[in-house]
Amino acid sequence: MTTLAEPDLPRATDGDIAAINLQSARRSAWARFAQDPRLPGVVEAVVDQERLAAQFLGNLDALDRLDTLASQFSRVDDSFRPSLVHAEVASTAHRFHDARDHVARAVLMGAPREAIERHTLTIDQACGVALDAVLAARRRIATASDRLEDLMPLGSVLADLEHFAEADAVYRQAFYSYDDVSPFPLAWVCFQLGMLWGELVPLPDPDLAALWYRRAIAYLPGYVKARVHLAEVCASQDQTGEAEALLRPALPSRDPEVRWRLADVLIAQDRFEEAEMELHAARSGFEELLEGHLLAFADHAAEFYAGSGNDCRRALELARANVANRPTRRAINKAQSIASKADTRSRPPGPTPSAADCFLAPEVAISGEKR
Amino acid sequence: MSDHVDGPRSIGDPPADITDLFAFTSPKDPARTVLAMCVFPSAGESAVFSNVIDYAMAVRRVSVTGIGNAAKFQPADEEFRFTFRFDVLDRDAAGNVIQRGVCILSDGRELPVTVNDEKGESTPEGAFRVFAGLRSDPFYLAWIPATLEKVPNLLQHDNVLCMVVEFDTRGVLDSEKGSLFGVIAETLPTEPPGRIGHPVARIDWIGRPEQTNVRLNNPALFGVDDIRDLWNQQTPFAISKELQPLFLQRLKDSFADWDIRDGKADWTPEALAANANVFLDDFLLFDIAKPITDQSHLEIEKSTIDGRPYQTGGGRTVDANSIDILLTWLVNHDREFLLGGATGATKPGTKTFPYFATPNTEIQTVAGSVELAAAPDDVWSVIGQFNLQWHPSVARARLIGEGLGQLRRLETRDGREIVERLAEIDNTKRSYRYTLVSGVPASHYAGVINVRPKGNGSVAEWRVDFLANNQPDIAVRTSVSRLVETGLGSLKTRFGVPHDDARRA
- Per-residue pLDDT reduced to its tens digit, B296-335: 999 999 999 999 999 999 999 999 999 999 999 999 999 9
Rounded average pLDDT over A152-173: 96
Partners of B286 in beta bridges: B181, B314
Task: State residue B152's pLDDT score.
Answer: 87
Yes or no, beta carbons of B199 and A177 under 8 Å apart:
yes
Q: CA of B61 to nearest chain A CA: how many angstroms apart? A: 30
Query: What is the CA B257 to chain-centroid distance, rounded?
Result: 26
Query: What is the CA B148 to chain-centroid distance, rounded?
Result: 19
Task: State residue B195's pLDDT score.
Answer: 55
When CB atoms are compared, the residue of A31, A68, A147 closest to B157 is A31
Task: State residue B478's pLDDT score.
Answer: 86
Q: Indicate which of A180, A220, A284, A288 best probes the interface with B, i.e. most B CBs within 10 Å of its own CB.
A: A180
Q: CA of B107 to nearest chain A CA: how many angstroms apart? A: 28
- Per-residue pLDDT reduced to its tens digit, B483-505: 999 999 999 999 999 875 444 43
Q: Indicate which of A24, A48, A141, A177 best probes the interface with B, i.e. most B CBs within 10 Å of its own CB.
A: A24
A25 vs B contacts (CB less than 8 Å)? 14, 40, 42-44, 47
Among B403, B18, B419, smallest CA distance to B204 is for B18
Query: What is the CA A229 to chain-centroid distance, rounded?
Result: 12
Q: Is the pLDDT of residue B91 over 70?
A: yes
Task: State residue B2's pLDDT score.
Answer: 55
Rounded average pLDDT over A42-71: 91
Rounded average pLDDT over B263-269: 95
Smallest CA–CA distance from A292 into chain B, residue = B454
Quote the DSSP letter at residue B438.
E
Cβ B80 vs Cβ B169: under 8 Å: no
Find the range with the poorest average confidence among A113-122, A342-351, B18-27: A342-351
Q: Indicate which of B160, B363, B371, B380 best probes the interface with A, i.e. most A CBs within 10 Å of its own CB.
A: B363
A41 close contact with B: CB closer than 8 A: yes
| CB neighbour class for B31 (10 Å; exposed up to 12, middle 13-18, buried from 19) | exposed
Provide the b/e sequence for B408-445 (b: ≥16 CB within 10 Å).
bbbebeeeeebebbbeebeeeebbbbbebeebbbbebb
B46 vs A contacts (CB less than 8 Å)? 20-21, 23-24
The pTM is what?
0.84
Q: CA of B138 to nearest chain A CA: how many angstroms apart? A: 16
Cβ A280 vs Cβ A309: under 8 Å: no
Among A160, A88, A146, A79, smallest CA distance to A122 is for A88
Quote the DSSP letter at residue B48.
-
Cβ B120 vs Cβ B130: under 8 Å: yes
B461 vs A contacts (CB less than 8 Å)? 68
A369 close contact with B: CB closer than 8 A: no
d(CA B6, CA B229): 8
Q: Is the pLDDT of residue B460 over 90?
A: yes
Yes or no, beta carbons of A23 and B46 under 8 Å apart:
yes
d(CA B263, CA B362): 41
d(CA A271, CA A263): 9
Q: CA of A40 to nearest chain B CA: how many angstroms apart? A: 8
Strand B457-468 versus strand B364-372 pairing type: antiparallel
Q: How far is CA B489 from CA A304, B370, B482, in A?
A: 35, 8, 10
Cβ B182 vs Cβ B203: under 8 Å: no
Among A96, A37, A28, A27, smallest CA distance to A59 is for A27
Q: What is the secondary structure of B388-449 as a DSSP string?
A: -TTSTTEEEEEEESSSTT-EEEEEETTS-EEEEEEEEEETTTTEEEEEEEESSSEEEEEEEE
Cβ B25 vs Cβ B142: under 8 Å: no
Banded model confidence at residue A68, pLDDT cuts 50, 70, 90? confident
d(CA B243, CA B245): 6
A45 vs B contacts (CB less than 8 Å)? 42
- Helical spans, DSSP H, in chain A: 15-35, 42-57, 61-76, 81-92, 96-108, 113-127, 131-145, 148-160, 164-177, 183-195, 206-219, 224-236, 240-247, 256-268, 272-306, 312-325, 329-346, 355-360
Banded model confidence at residue B469, pLDDT cuts 50, 70, 90? confident
When CB atoms are compared, the residue of B11, B429, B450 closest to A149 is B11
Q: CA of A74 to nearest chain B CA: how many angstroms apart? A: 10
A363 sits in which H/E element: none
Smallest CA–CA distance from B229 into chain A, residue = A179
> What radius of gyration do chain B's Cα atoms show?
27
B12 vs A contacts (CB less than 8 Å)? 180-182
Find the range with the poorest average confidence among A157-161, A216-220, B462-466: B462-466
Q: CA of B362 to nearest chain A CA: how many angstroms apart? A: 7
Banded model confidence at residue B198, pLDDT cuts 50, 70, 90? low
Q: CA of B447 to nearest chain A CA: how many angstroms apart? A: 10
Yes or no, beta carbons of A177 and B461 under 8 Å apart:
no
- Per-residue pLDDT reduced to its tens digit, A272-300: 999 999 999 999 999 999 988 999 999 99
Task: State residue A354's pLDDT score.
Answer: 43
Q: Can you say whether the dihedral through the CA atoms of B441, A28, B425, B371 is positive or negative?
A: negative
Quote the DSSP letter at residue B289.
T
Q: Is the pLDDT of residue B216 over 80?
A: yes
Size of interface A-B (CB pairs under 8 A): 140
Yes or no, beta carbons of B13 and A180 under 8 Å apart:
yes
Banded model confidence at residue A358, pLDDT cuts 50, 70, 90? very low
Q: Is the pLDDT of residue B242 over 70?
A: yes
A173 close contact with B: CB closer than 8 A: no
Task: State residue B495's pLDDT score.
Answer: 95
Highest mean pLDDT among A10-14, A64-68, A172-176, A226-230: A226-230
When CB atoms are compared, the residue of B45, B196, B463 closest to A8 is B196
Yes or no, beta carbons of A21 and B196 under 8 Å apart:
no
B89 vs A contacts (CB less than 8 Å)? 14, 16-17, 20
Banded model confidence at residue A362, pLDDT cuts 50, 70, 90? very low
Q: Is the pLDDT of residue B375 over 50?
A: yes
d(CA A60, CA A169): 31
- Per-residue pLDDT reduced to its tens digit, A15-27: 999 999 999 999 8
- Give the rounded percent of residues in chain A with a pLDDT score beyond 90: 72
- Per-residue pLDDT reduced to its tens digit, B114-162: 999 999 999 999 999 999 999 999 999 999 888 899 988 888 889 999 9
Yes or no, beta carbons of A14 and B190 under 8 Å apart:
no
d(CA B1, CA B340): 13
Task: State residue A230's pLDDT score.
Answer: 98
Helix (H, G, I), strand (E, B) or coil at B415: coil
A40 vs B contacts (CB less than 8 Å)? 144, 154
Helix (H, G, I), strand (E, B) or coil at B102: strand
Q: How many CB atoms lie within 10 A of CB A136?
A: 12
Q: How many CB atoms lie within 10 A of CB A50?
A: 24
A8 vs B contacts (CB less than 8 Å)? 196
Q: Is the pLDDT of residue A172 over 50?
A: yes
Query: What is the CA A94 to chain-centroid distance, rounded?
Result: 9
Rounded average pLDDT over B428-457: 89
Among B233, B330, B296, smallest CA distance to B22 is for B296
Rounded average pLDDT over B227-232: 88
Q: CA of B372 to nearest chain A CA: how many angstroms apart? A: 16
B190 vs A contacts (CB less than 8 Å)? 11
B157 vs A contacts (CB less than 8 Å)? 31-32, 35
Task: State residue A329's pLDDT score.
Answer: 85
**Strand-by-strand arrangement of the B457-468 sheet:** B364-372, B457-468, B442-454, B431-438, B417-426, B407-412, B394-400
What is the length of chain B? Answer: 505
- 42-81 in chain A: CB under 8 A from chain B: 45, 48, 68, 71-72, 75
d(CA B5, CA B3): 6
A17 vs B contacts (CB less than 8 Å)? 15, 48-51, 88-89, 99
A21 close contact with B: CB closer than 8 A: yes
Task: State residue B255's pLDDT score.
Answer: 96
B14 vs A contacts (CB less than 8 Å)? 21, 25
d(CA A115, CA A83): 11
Q: Can you say whether the dihedral through the CA atoms of A221, A225, A228, A232 is positive or negative?
A: negative
Give me the interface pTM, i.e. the ipTM. Answer: 0.87
The residues, any chain, with a CB within 8 Å of residue A207's CB and separated by 6 or more, are none
Among B48, B25, B172, smallest CA distance to B113 is for B48
d(CA B84, CA B104): 6
Domains of chain B with CATH codes:
14-332 (no CATH), 364-504 (3.30.530.20)
Q: Is the pLDDT of residue A249 over 90?
A: yes
d(CA A313, CA A358): 11
Q: How many CB atoms lie within 10 A of CB A44?
A: 16
When CB atoms are compared, the residue of A12, A27, A40 closest to B44 is A27
Banded model confidence at residue A41, pLDDT cuts 50, 70, 90? confident
Partners of B131 in beta bridges: B164
> Phi/psi at B431 (nearest 5 deg)?
-150, 140
- Give the rounded percent of residues in chain B with a pLDDT score beyond 70: 95
Query: What is the CA A38 to chain-centroid distance, rounded?
Result: 30
